[in-house]
Chains A and B, each alone.
Chain A
Amino acid sequence: MSDLVYILQQMINAVSLGSLYALVAVGLSIVFGVLKLTNFAHGDVMMVGAFTTVLLIGVGMPFIPALFCGILGAALAGLLIERIAYRPVRNAPDVTRLLTSLAVTYILENFGILVFSSSPRNFPLPDALNESWQFMGGAITFTNINLLTLALTFASLIGLGWFITKTTLGLGMRAASEDMSAAQLVGLDVNRLIVVAFIVASGFAGLAGILWAAQAGVIQPQMGFTPLLKAFVAAIIGGFGSIAGALLGGFVLGALEIFIVAFLPDAITPYRDAIVFSLLIAFLLFRPGGILKPNREIKL
């Protein structure tokens, strides 16, 4: 019985972690879809979202409105990054665009360090969200912030699914992701679609950054790096460039990490990241299209 409860608790943890990975990976996929660019600055947009929220809570704004302002702040950051950094090099060679995205990463991180210093700060989560729920005599525990994270990630992912499949804008984005010049040929406004893609992807990054920091309880300027790397792995495992692949990869990676920590011998646990990145290498070597294998070659 207690084994079963333990498994249940770990499943909840896996879904919870996976949904965060999925949230970040989806944003990477959206930008990659329209620009064929691996947006390294995506992790720093997460940081912008989290810091915006923390600053607003600091001046007395309640958590929920501050969270939505953080999402807006991240979306705005994405909009500016596209306009200022990526648009001028849009038709440049891939290496140039990749380096541009790395440059944006360093600029944002160092700006963060300059303004906030590199030492971690507490995430001022309201007490109500830290309250926990216990079931089966404490064998299964989750806090309100766990619940809120799950609710918000699922709501936003469902919203994204609706946007991509049921709106004319999403239709245009799917078309442009598949063949940019054919999209221009039928008169799609590619500039506008790219701007929309950045707003949506960065909004998702912002939400992910806030929830990530809220769960961890701390924020710091380089906080986006690890989730970005993990989301990158998730996106490749699922199928790079595909939104469904990013979702799938996020949950698979979340489940895998929890499985390693919860069910394998303690001696193996420290090698969690090594196992994850070995898996990444295996996928890149043997199945570069990911689980879903979209008809697309991987291009950094």
Chain B
Amino acid sequence: MQQHHNADTDRILLETSGLTKVFRGLVALRDHTITLREHEILGVIGPNGSGKSTFFNLITGFSKPNSGQISFDGQSIAGLANSRIVELGIARTFQGSRLFSSLSVSENVLVAAQLRHPIAPLNAILRGSRYYSRLKEAQDIGNRLLEFMGLTAQADRLAADLPYGDQRRLEIARALATEPKLLLLDEPAAGLDSHETHELVSLIRSIRDKFGITVVVVEHDMDLIMTVCERIQVLAAGEVICVGTPEEVRRHPRVREAYLGYE
């Protein structure tokens, strides 16, 4: 399955070059460069403060780079507003949960599904001809995603009332409801037990295989990254140490140094 997806495309989805971000004189990310092919699962690892989150924030428009290029799907996106970047097809989750906790599970997903199936403000009140068809499209997508995530039985519960593991899955479902080309997962395994982490591995694979979505995972959990990712980029102190297959990264001397005691 993985072979199939890697073989059928060499199209570049995301490319950064010379991406640099400085916070008050502190270099959070220096000269970051990565080329991401469509349908790839890329892992980004590194100790705290190595620039992983900065990388995500720059790509999703939460902060603007001091210099460098970001090209997504052939278009330059550096410095665009985050709402515009979502529209172009990049969705993300956060380290901590950022769900709409007072909304129900199905509403959380429905809100996001409206991006591709918008209902005009007046039509939302007057309920004209296209209202019901649009709403049904959005609801269908939401229902399918909840089923995919195994959350159907929880659809009417408040997001705040879900167990932690379900909240994490709901956040992924909400991101998928924007029908992205690229999904960025920020420490998806944080706080999960080993069983849930195991499920996450197959979940990430099936997101790629079933929906054809390219995935980037930022993680501390080396096992998860080594298992699920085809390529891994290692960051330390804002700089790229190496990029390669899990095997190559595992053998890289500077990675062994940075993660001494691993293996």
| B261 in the interface (beta carbon within 8 A) | no
Nearest-neighbor residue (CB-CB) of B127 within chain A: A167
Instruction: Determine if B121 and A169 form an interchain contact, defined as CB atoms under 8 angstroms apart.
Output: yes
Instruction: Determine if B121 and A186 form an interchain contact, defined as CB atoms under 8 angstroms apart.
Output: no
Instruction: Determine if A182 and B100 form an interchain contact, defined as CB atoms under 8 angstroms apart.
Output: yes
Instruction: Determine if B83 and A184 form an interchain contact, defined as CB atoms under 8 angstroms apart.
Output: yes
Instruction: Determine if B100 and A187 form an interchain contact, defined as CB atoms under 8 angstroms apart.
Output: no
| B112 in the interface (beta carbon within 8 A) | yes
Bound-complex Cα distance A181 to B62 (A): 9
Instruction: Determine if B115 and A186 form an interchain contact, defined as CB atoms under 8 angstroms apart.
Output: yes
Given A163-B125, A186-B174, A186-B177, A175–B103 Cβ distance below 8 Å?
yes
- Starting from the known contacts A170-B124, A181-B62, A188-B111, 5 additional A-B residue pairs (CB-CB under 8 Å) come to A168-B124, A185-B60, A186-B91, A188-B114, A189-B83
Instruction: Determine if A179 and B98 form an interchain contact, defined as CB atoms under 8 angstroms apart.
Output: yes
- Closest Cβ of chain A to B180, distance in Å, is 10
Which residues of B, 94-118, contact A by the 8 Å Cβ criterion?
94, 98-103, 107-108, 110-112, 114-115
Contact partners of B125 in chain A: CB under 8 A? 163, 167, 169
- Closest Cβ of chain B to A64, distance in Å, is 21
Contact partners of B175 in chain A: CB under 8 A? 186
Instruction: Determine if A184 and B82 form an interchain contact, defined as CB atoms under 8 angstroms apart.
Output: yes
Bound-complex Cα distance A13 to B187 (A): 57
| A148 in the interface (beta carbon within 8 A) | no
Q: What is the 8 Å Cβ interface bit string for chain A, positions 183-202, against chain B (1 contact, 0 not)?
A: 11111111010001000000
| A107 in the interface (beta carbon within 8 A) | no
Instruction: Determine if A192 and B121 form an interchain contact, defined as CB atoms under 8 angstroms apart.
Output: yes
| A112 in the interface (beta carbon within 8 A) | no
Given A171-B103, A186-B86, A196–B60 Cβ distance below 8 Å?
no
Nearest-neighbor residue (CB-CB) of B131 within chain A: A168
| B237 in the interface (beta carbon within 8 A) | no
Instruction: Determine if A295 and B101 form an interchain contact, defined as CB atoms under 8 angstroms apart.
Output: yes
**28 A-B pairs (CB sep. < 8 Å):** A163-B125, A167-B124, A168-B114, A169-B124, A170-B124, A171-B103, A171-B107, A171-B111, A174-B102, A175-B111, A181-B62, A182-B94, A183-B100, A184-B81, A184-B82, A185-B82, A186-B175, A186-B177, A186-B178, A187-B86, A187-B87, A187-B112, A188-B111, A188-B115, A189-B83, A196-B121, A295-B101, A295-B102
Q: What is the 8 Å Cβ interface bit string for chain B, positions 145-185, against chain A (1 contact, 0 not)?
A: 00000000000000000000000000000110110000000
Contact partners of A181 in chain B: CB under 8 A? 62, 82
Which residues of A, 130-183, contact B by the 8 Å Cβ criterion?
163, 167-172, 174-175, 178-179, 181-183
| B207 in the interface (beta carbon within 8 A) | no
| B22 in the interface (beta carbon within 8 A) | no
| B92 in the interface (beta carbon within 8 A) | yes
Nearest-neighbor residue (CB-CB) of A172 within chain B: B111
Bound-complex Cα distance A188 to B98 (A): 15
Q: What is the 8 Å Cβ interface bit string for chain B, positions 215-258, against chain A (1 contact, 0 not)?
A: 00000000000000000000000000000000000000000000
- Closest Cβ of chain B to A145, distance in Å, is 28
- Closest Cβ of chain A to B123, distance in Å, is 9
Nearest-neighbor residue (CB-CB) of B94 within chain A: A182
Given A169-B125, A178-B100, A196-B121, A186–B112 Cβ distance below 8 Å?
yes
Q: What is the 8 Å Cβ interface bit string for chain B, positions 64-101, against chain A (1 contact, 0 not)?
A: 00000000000000000111001100011010001111
With an 8 Å Cβ cutoff, the count of chain A residues facing the other chain is 24
Nearest-neighbor residue (CB-CB) of A174 within chain B: B103
Instruction: Determine if B86 and A168 form an interchain contact, defined as CB atoms under 8 angstroms apart.
Output: no
Instruction: Determine if A186 and B101 form an interchain contact, defined as CB atoms under 8 angstroms apart.
Output: no
Contact partners of A171 in chain B: CB under 8 A? 103, 107, 110-111
Nearest-neighbor residue (CB-CB) of B135 within chain A: A168
| B12 in the interface (beta carbon within 8 A) | no
Q: Contact partner of B178 among A175, A179, A187, A295, CB < 8 A?
A: A187
Q: Contact partner of A175 among B82, B100, B121, CB < 8 A?
A: B100
Nearest-neighbor residue (CB-CB) of A199 within chain B: B121
Instruction: Determine if B83 and A187 form an interchain contact, defined as CB atoms under 8 angstroms apart.
Output: yes
Contact partners of A183 in chain B: CB under 8 A? 100, 111
- Closest Cβ of chain B to A72, distance in Å, is 15
- Closest Cβ of chain A to B31, distance in Å, is 27
Q: Contact partner of A187 among B94, B99, B101, B115, CB < 8 A?
A: B115
Contact partners of B98 in chain A: CB under 8 A? 179, 182, 185
Contact partners of B178 in chain A: CB under 8 A? 186-187
Nearest-neighbor residue (CB-CB) of B62 within chain A: A181
Contact partners of A167 in chain B: CB under 8 A? 124-125
